[in-house]
């Protein structure tokens, strides 16, 4: 008997029920009990699916009202002092305040930092540790959910973030100390959790330790053995779960931990199987992640089966079978996609279908491939048609990509010369103010979009509505006194989907949502074939917006790396090749904007960093092709056209040279949440071009005051020449409401005025 399980199921609900429930609770429109009930229903539904498809366990602990790392912080009582948690059980509003700064009850304050979960587009809430950090069991959530599953009659395997990955993902605050030193305080709480789970009759606990796939410092590697020694006499069996990469140098450590089992990712780390089979002691189970939990293509059953058979020869009953990682990263159910064409649909598998694939594989393994012949044949046929389909190849695109020259990657002149030409044309004041692109996506925007999609509005009517929204955004910006305006992106539901919908080679789902952070979900396009641009995508809107103002209007595009990173991409060619094809399409759009009179063009690359391979050794190759793709997209313009890029993360130090090599004239970047931590990068590296370090955290509804923003900018001008600095928010404002946006931007413009009148010399 092969055991089959999953590491986690998407928590959002096939109809995005979680989003509706959470947001209506936040707005005070529904009581807490209703939210709690929605959570219960979603879990019950997902467990039933797992049982119905024949999984040997249902997984608990993967559900969350916001984020599983934040849940772990609550469970461990790691609540930063500013939230004034009185002890006891961490209640839901304290939990939400940590995530968002505000909640229906409790004092508003800075939210905790948020950052990307490994190399995914999922964001977790960063644990914050004080020098005197203590831990205690402070949430019953996990036990309640286990009890819930048991009451429904399921055999349940709880999942939690392991102690070392938890510490690794956190940050030391309020003092210079090593967070690894907190381990001895942390372990007793983990022991207590495991003991309780054991007492509830739980046999197996899934302990996620994806940090094991990273290049860990020696001290952390050594801590693994010590940690699991300390947890070995708890009354449950531990399955150590790794994903997103192979274990690399940590194979021996992972295999020898004093635990009952190990899970490895064979989608990203196929090559590690032999070494793991050789190293793993014969009393341990090995869970193989043969189904890709990060992409949406059907598994190649023959290939997977061959691997599993080889492993089964060694492992026998000790073989477990799972997706590579939690299914959190793929949409819930393909069945809901009634608008995808049948051929393409047949190539795909979402979370629900992936669970089916598991059960087919299990049957094939146990009873022979003939027992599931029909499925096997169908999958083979789908693969054959996909790889030979004319839909996926465009000779013209391939030819163009192959004949690119070095000059296509370079602007005509170096930055200094461009800067002079741009300044002459744009005549911007010192500390120019701008925003990142989007303005509030109000009901007035969403309703016409919905009506247009549903055919209740004609294209002309829809355009008219969007133009009215653009005009509104422009007039508000003029009133606020910003220097460089944006059109507000009213016509875009999503910064990747908007472009993908107008490009060849992309397909779209109707319900393929994936959680990005909290209640923010994205619907990644599917890149299934060669990419090309049939015609201009943004020019009309930009030209209209520019016609409303004498201030410069930024043209707004999404960069090739971000489009790649936030899509489900084809697995039949290297990612670099797909990125280059997208770059060519964006390059054409950039030139069309310039020709239409747009003087500033921003190409957003918020996802550049998350594409960074997890292992240092793989990074230079990635950065080289990613930077090249951006440069191909951005370099086709005249010296006096100003290019901007935007990125949303503060961890900048390790890629600063690549970011500089992108050679955008201006970069705007997230940094206010981390209190300008990004500036550390400039102590050792002279950033050559202009830069706008975000002064206003747009992820939180809190309105920052002028002093606060002035303070952040003063910090910035201690390490950067004032003439290089712009003043702007951290990111786009689409998720905010107008009143808070207007108040915050007015404060921001006031802050720029303060900076212009108070020279830096006066401060030091």
Q: What are the residue numbers of the active site?
A: 699
Site for ligand GLN in 628-647 (CB under 6 A): 646
Q: Least distance from C-beta 488 to ligand GLN, angstroms? A: 9
Which residue, 649, 698, 690, is CA-closest to 669?
649
Give the nearer residue to ligand GLN in terms of CB position, either 631 or 734.
734
Is-contact 54 5, C-beta < 8 A?
no
The token pair that represents 241 in the structure block: 């779960």
Strand order in 568-569's β-sheet?
504-507, 526-532, 568-569
Site for ligand GLN in 518-557 (CB under 6 A): 556
Is-contact 159 62, C-beta < 8 A?
yes
Give the nearer residue to ligand GLN in terms of CB position, either 177 or 544.
544
Identify the helix (H) or strand (E) that includes residue 760.
Answer: none
Contacts of 217 (CB under 8 A, 6+ apart): none
Give the nearer residue to Zn ion in terms of CB position, either 720 or 731.
731
Q: Least distance from C-beta 13 to ligand GLN, angstroms? A: 24
Is-contact 281 262, C-beta < 8 A?
no
Give the integer Cα–Cα distance in Å for 251 and 259.
14
In the numeric block, the tokens 């690549």 are attached to 658
Give the nearer residue to ligand GLN in terms of CB position, either 486 or 623.
486
Site for ligand GLN in 212-241 (CB under 6 A): none
Q: Least distance from C-beta 720 to Zn ion, angstroms? A: 20
Q: Which stretch binds ligand GLN (CB under 6 A): 13-21, 64-72, 727-735, 754-762?
A: 727-735
Q: Least distance from C-beta 434 to ligand GLN, angstroms? A: 11
Q: Site for ligand GLN (CB under 6 A): which residue of 606, 693, 694, 704?
A: 606
Estimate the share of the chain in helix, then strand, then coil, as percent rounded to the nearest 5. 50, 15, 40
Three-state secondary-structure class, residue 531: strand
Query: Could you say whether residue 692 binds ligand GLN (CB under 6 A)?
Result: no
CB burial of 734-747 (b: ≥16 within 10 Å; e: otherwise) equals: bebeeebbbebbbb
Give the nearer residue to Zn ion in terms of CB position, either 529 or 729.
729
Contacted entry of ligand GLN, Zn ion, none for residue 438, CB cut-off 5 to 8 Å set by kind: ligand GLN
Q: Least distance from C-beta 698 to Zn ion, angstroms? A: 8
Strands 171-172 and 128-129: what pairing?
parallel
Q: Least distance from C-beta 708 to ligand GLN, angstroms? A: 21
Site for ligand GLN in 728-747 (CB under 6 A): 731-732, 734
Contacted entry of ligand GLN, Zn ion, none for residue 605, CB cut-off 5 to 8 Å set by kind: none
Binding residues for ligand GLN, rule CB under 6 A, total: 13
The token pair that represents 218 in the structure block: 């020696």
Give the nearer residue to ligand GLN in terms of CB position, either 223 or 445.
445
Give the nearer residue to Zn ion in terms of CB position, either 257 or 563.
563
Give the torsion sign (CA, 370, 375, 377, 383).
Answer: negative
Q: Give residues in contact with Zn ion (CB under 5 A).
A: 606, 648, 731
Contacted entry of Zn ion, ligand GLN, none for residue 223, CB cut-off 5 to 8 Å set by kind: none
Neighbours of 478 (CB within 10 A): 14
Query: Could you say whether residue 495 binds ligand GLN (CB under 6 A)?
Result: yes
Give the nearer residue to ligand GLN in terms of CB position, either 123 or 587.
123
Q: Least distance from C-beta 115 to Zn ion, angstroms? A: 13
Alpha helices in 526-677 (DSSP H): 539-547, 560-565, 575-595, 619-634, 656-661
Site for ligand GLN in 428-467 (CB under 6 A): 436-438
CA distances from 580 to 391, 402, 563, 576 (A): 19, 10, 11, 6
CB burial of 291-314 (b: ≥16 within 10 Å; e: otherwise) equals: bbbbbbbbbebeebbeebeebbeb
Torsion from C-alpha of 234, 235, 237, 241, nearest 10 degrees: -40
The token pair that represents 339 in the structure block: 């608008």
Which residue, 186, 182, 166, is CA-closest to 231?
186
Q: Least distance from C-beta 735 to ligand GLN, angstroms? A: 9
Residues making contact with ligand GLN (CB under 6 A): 436-438, 489, 495, 556, 604, 606, 646, 648, 731-732, 734
């Amino acid at each position: 008997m092969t055991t089959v399980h999953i590491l986690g199921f998407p928590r959002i609900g096939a109809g995005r029920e979680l989003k509706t429930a959470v947001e209506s609770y936040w707005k005070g429109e529904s009581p807490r009990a209703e939210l709690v009930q929605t959570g219960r229903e979603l879990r019950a539904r997902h467990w039933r699916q797992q049982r119905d498809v024949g999984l040997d366990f249902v997984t608990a602990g993967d559900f969350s009202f916001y984020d599983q790392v934040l849940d772990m912080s609550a469970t461990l009582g790691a609540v930063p002092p500013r939230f004034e948690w009185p002890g006891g059980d961490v209640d839901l509003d304290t939990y939400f305040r940590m995530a968002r700064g505000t909640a229906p009850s409790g004092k508003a304050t800075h939210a905790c930092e948020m950052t990307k979960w490994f190399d995914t587009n999922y964001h977790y809430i960063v644990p914050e540790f004080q020098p005197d950090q203590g831990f205690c069991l402070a949430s019953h959530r996990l036990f309640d959910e286990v009890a819930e599953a048991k009451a429904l009659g399921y055999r349940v395997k709880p999942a939690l973030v392991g102690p070392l990955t938890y510490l690794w993902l956190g940050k030391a605050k309020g003092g210079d100390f090593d967070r690894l030193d907190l381990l001895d305080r942390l372990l007793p709480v983990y022991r207590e959790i495991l003991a309780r789970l054991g007492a509830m009759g739980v046999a197996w606990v899934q302990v996620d330790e994806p940090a094991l796939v990273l290049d860990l410092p020696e001290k952390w590697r050594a801590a693994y053995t010590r940690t699991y020694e300390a947890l070995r006499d708890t009354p449950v069996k531990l399955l150590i779960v790794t994903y997103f990469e192979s274990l690399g140098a940590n194979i021996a450590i992972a295999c020898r931990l004093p635990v009952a089992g190990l899970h490895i990712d064979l989608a990203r780390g196929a090559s590690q199987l032999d070494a793991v089979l050789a190293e793993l002691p014969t009393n341990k189970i090995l869970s193989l992640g043969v189904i890709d939990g990060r992409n949406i293509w059907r598994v190649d059953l023959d290939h997977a089966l061959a691997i599993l058979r080889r492993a089964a020869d060694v492992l026998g009953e000790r073989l477990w079978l799972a997706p590579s990682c939690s299914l959190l990263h793929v949409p819930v159910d393909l069945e809901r996609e009634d608008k995808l064409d049948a051929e393409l649909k047949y190539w795909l598998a979402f979370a629900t279908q992936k669970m089916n694939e598991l059960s087919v594989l299990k049957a094939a393994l146990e009873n022979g491939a003939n027992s599931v012949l029909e499925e096997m044949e169908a999958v083979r046929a789908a693969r054959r048609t996909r790889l030979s389909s004319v839909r996926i190849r465009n000779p013209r695109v391939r030819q163009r990509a192959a004949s690119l020259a070095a000059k296509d990657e370079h602007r005509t002149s170096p930055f200094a010369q461009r800067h002079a030409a741009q300044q002459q044309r744009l005549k911007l004041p010192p500390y120019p103010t701008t925003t990142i692109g989007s303005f509030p996506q109000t009901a007035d925007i969403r309703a016409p979009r919905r009506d247009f999609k549903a055919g209740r509005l004609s294209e002309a009517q829809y355009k008219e509505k969007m133009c009215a929204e653009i005009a509104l955004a422009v007039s508000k910006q003029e009133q606020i006194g910003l220097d460089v305006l944006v059109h507000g992106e009213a016509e875009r539901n999503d910064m990747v989907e908007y472009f993908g919908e107008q490009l060849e080679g992309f397909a779209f789902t109707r319900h393929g949502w994936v959680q990005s952070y909290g209640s923010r979900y994205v619907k990644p396009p599917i890149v299934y074939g060669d990419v090309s641009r049939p015609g201009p995508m943004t020019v009309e809107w930009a030209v209209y917006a520019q016609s409303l103002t004498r201030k410069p209007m930024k043209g707004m595009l999404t960069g090739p790396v971000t489009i790649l990173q936030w899509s489900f991409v084809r697995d039949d060619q290297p990612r670099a090749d797909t990125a280059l094809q997208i770059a060519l399409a964006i390059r054409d759009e950039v030139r069309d904007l310039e020709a239409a009179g747009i003087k500033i063009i921003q190409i957003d690359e918020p996802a550049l960093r998350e594409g960074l391979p997890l292992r240092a050794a793989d990074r230079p190759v990635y950065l080289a092709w990613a930077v090249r793709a951006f440069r191909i997209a951005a370099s086709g313009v005249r010296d006096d056209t100003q290019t901007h890029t935007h990125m949303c993360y503060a961890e900048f130090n390790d890629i600063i040279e690549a970011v500089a090599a992108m050679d955008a004239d201006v970069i705007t970047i997230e940094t206010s949440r981390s209190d300008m931590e990004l500036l550390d990068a400039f102590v050792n590296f002279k950033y050559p071009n202009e830069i706008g370090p975000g002064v206003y955290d747009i992820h939180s509804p809190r309105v920052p005051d002028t002093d606060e923003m002035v303070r952040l900018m003063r910090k910035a001008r201690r390490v950067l020449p004032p003439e290089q600095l712009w003043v702007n928010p951290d990111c786009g404002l689409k998720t905010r409401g107008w009143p808070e946006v207007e108040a915050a931007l007015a404060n921001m413009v006031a802050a720029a005025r303060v900076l212009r009148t108070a020279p830096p010399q006066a401060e030091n």
